[in-house]
Structure 1
Amino acid sequence: MTSVSKQTISFKNDESKWTQLLDSFEHHVKTERGLSNFTIRNYRNDLAPLFDFMQVQGLSSITDLNRTNLREYLAWLVDIGYVRSSVVRKLSTLRSFLKWLVRDGIIKTDPLPRRGVLNNTRRLPKFLSKEEVNKIFEVVDNKSTIGLRDLALLELIYAAGLRVSEVQKLNLSDINVGNQELVVTGKGSKQRIALIGKPATHAIERYIKYGRLKLDLSGKAKALFLNRTGGRLNQRTIQKKVNYYSKLAGLQDVHTHTLRHSFATHLLDGGADLRVVQELLGHSSPSTTQLYTHVSSSEARQIYLSAHPRAIKDQSK
């Protein structure tokens, strides 16, 4: 296999180039280190979250990695629910990956510190309490056009446990307020049905009726969430909005994935089966989905309505 060219190190919104980079790394560990297929498969799985993190952070090239954002990456892994032992394993694989990148001249120096890199990960909360989530919603000005949009955005992320890339891709046609559900396009363009409770549905209805109409300057916009000029809201802005309102509510280090992890945690606390939570989260990694059996959409809906903090009140209506 030929070495990776400089053109392949930039892969913003292009997973094929990331895959090409991993293929080259796989060739290295297989031919030069003689690792088993099982170990190689684990290596790829260990590196998979790095691509997601880079997309969320707007990092377009492997050369954009530095000591600061790699520390943030490891903290992010803890924040979205990986146990410490899993993070340690991913760190070991990451070290091997970066060492290979340096050896092949793809990056000049290894940006990862040799020691103390995991010291800060314990300080980040893994999830928010239900009361903290409510505080975030309460600080939003739900009377202004932007406030209507932002409240709908926040409610939807938490109600459906969406990734930032998933909420950013949503179109108006993906929402079915009558059935309180939406079509989500996840990793690998795989689609799933996500469920939402009454508060999120109400927030979306108000935004569409009173806010989105004012933002859709052309009258032809497909995106659900629009910016001030009528274009699709980008991922960086969504992250900033979550962080802004969280700080306004007196909370620190809250990101989109924090709301997503809180969604999963609160469902489990409410008695939801782990298999159902897995399906609602839309996990697509073979190493994850093979652990769970299929759950019907009707069963998922029933469990969601009984377990999600902002869906429970629907059952009395």
Structure 2
Amino acid sequence: MSLALSAAMRDALETWLSHERALKSASAHTIAAYGRDVTGWLAFLAHHHGESLGPARIGRLGITDMRAWMAHERGRGVAPRSLARALSAVKTFTRWLAEREGFDPTAILSTRSPKFTAKLPRPLSAEAAQEMLSTVEMQSEEPWIAARDTAVVTLLYGCGLRISEALSLTGADLPLGEVLRITGKGDKERIVPVLPVARRAVAEYARLCPHDLSPSAPLFRGKRGGALNPRLIAKVTETARMQLGLPSSVTPHAMRHSFATHLLNAGGDLRAIQELLGHASLSTTQAYTAVDTARLMQVYEAAHPRAKGD
């Protein structure tokens, strides 16, 4: 697809991606997705118009061009959610390019995003979460692997870690203290309390692990000693949830959902939970936590001045 881009457009795209990487601390995964989405859009436009488009030509695009691109994407099976993400990247790039080149980006920025139904996360009940931990422990006949899987899933549920964050721990983190310093998305650091049950689970794994857990090496290892593949945790979680008769929505990430929801149900502050999860936006945390209406009204009545008659 990059062959459809002019040299000036390739330079502009690379400069914008570097800008997003440096100034907005976007993750490598996000930068790669941005690059694919915008390159795909530019490639379509080149084919649509029969020529490579330079930066200045983008300013002459109209709403019909955008509609043609979106129709093309839907026609090749791109889901509304994925198309909305691509459109967001296109708009961000165009806004930046317009400021640099001095054109009016209104036609592109006014393009409406496709409608889609957001899939809210499905946390487990507190009882199901405990059953998952116990069942995960029984999936391997090798004690150290059983302890490893239990330790990882306990970190997801007990500390609200992402699977990538749990697997990024190294031998230098041993023994786990009362808090962990986690580097999450966008290289943002946060401090996460570590429950005694999580410290015990990791300590038991470290005691049984047959591999040398040196400070510079990954803490969680595969059977042959390499870094643990996250797919193995997904597989053991899938097996455990099938044994318990739980729905397919029960994934490693669902344990993180459950951590957040159970904290909020127990009276936790939403902003404090936002910090623990490492969310940049409070709205993300709100979508993350499944709380019934009665609980939300309790929080409202306890916190809102008007509700208390002030």
Please, what TM-score do these two structures have when normalized by structure 1? 0.55
Over 3 Å counting, the alpha-carbon distance change for 1:224 and 1:291 in structure 2 is: closer
Provide, for residues 63-87 of structure 1, a one-character-per-residue CA deviation record: whole Å limited to 9, x for no partner.
9xx95xx77xxxxxxxxxxxxxxxx
Report percent identity of matched pairs.
30
Residue 267 (str. 1) matches residue 263 (str. 2): yes
Deviation at 1:243, TM superposition (A): 2.0
Matched, 1:225 2:220: yes
Q: Does 1:138 pair with 2:129?
A: no
Alpha-carbon distance between aligned partners in 2 of 1:228 and 1:32, rounded to the nearest angstrom: 57
Q: Is the 8 A contact 1:181 1:193 kept in 2?
A: yes
Root-mean-square deviation (CA), in Å?
A: 4.3
Query: Is 1:17 the counterpart of 2:32 in the alignment?
Result: yes
Give the aligned partner of residue 242 of structure 2. 247
Q: How does 1:138-177 map to 2 (within 5 A)?
A: 138-139=134-135, 140-141=137-138, 144-177=143-176
1:282-293 aligned at under 5 Å gives the runs 282-283=278-279, 285=280, 287-288=281-282
CA distance in 2, matches of 1:91, 1:187: 20
3-state SS of 1:194 partner: strand
What is the DSSP-based 3-state SS (H/G/I as helix, E as strand, rest coil) of the residue aligned with 1:215?
coil
Paired residue total: 216
Shift of 1:224: 1.2
Q: 1:159 touches 1:263 (CA, 8 Å); kept in 2?
A: yes
Aligned to 1:2: 9
Matched to 2:246, the amino acid is L
Change beyond 3 A, Cα 1:241–1:215: farther
| Aligned mates of 1:291, 1:144 — CA distance in 2 | 36
Question: Which structure 1 segments of 5+ residues have no match?
Answer: 36-62, 72-87, 101-114, 293-317
- Residue 14 of structure 1 deviates from its aligned partner by 5.0
Larger-Rg structure? 2
Other-structure match for 2:195: 197
Write the letter of the residue equivalent to 1:232.
A
SS in structure 1 at match of 2:9: coil
| Superposed counterparts of 1:1-317, under 5 Å | 2=9, 14-21=29-36, 31=59, 90=81, 93-94=84-85, 96=87, 118=117, 126-139=122-135, 140-141=137-138, 144-177=143-176, 179-209=177-207, 211-212=208-209, 214-216=210-212, 222-253=217-248, 254-283=250-279, 285=280, 287-288=281-282
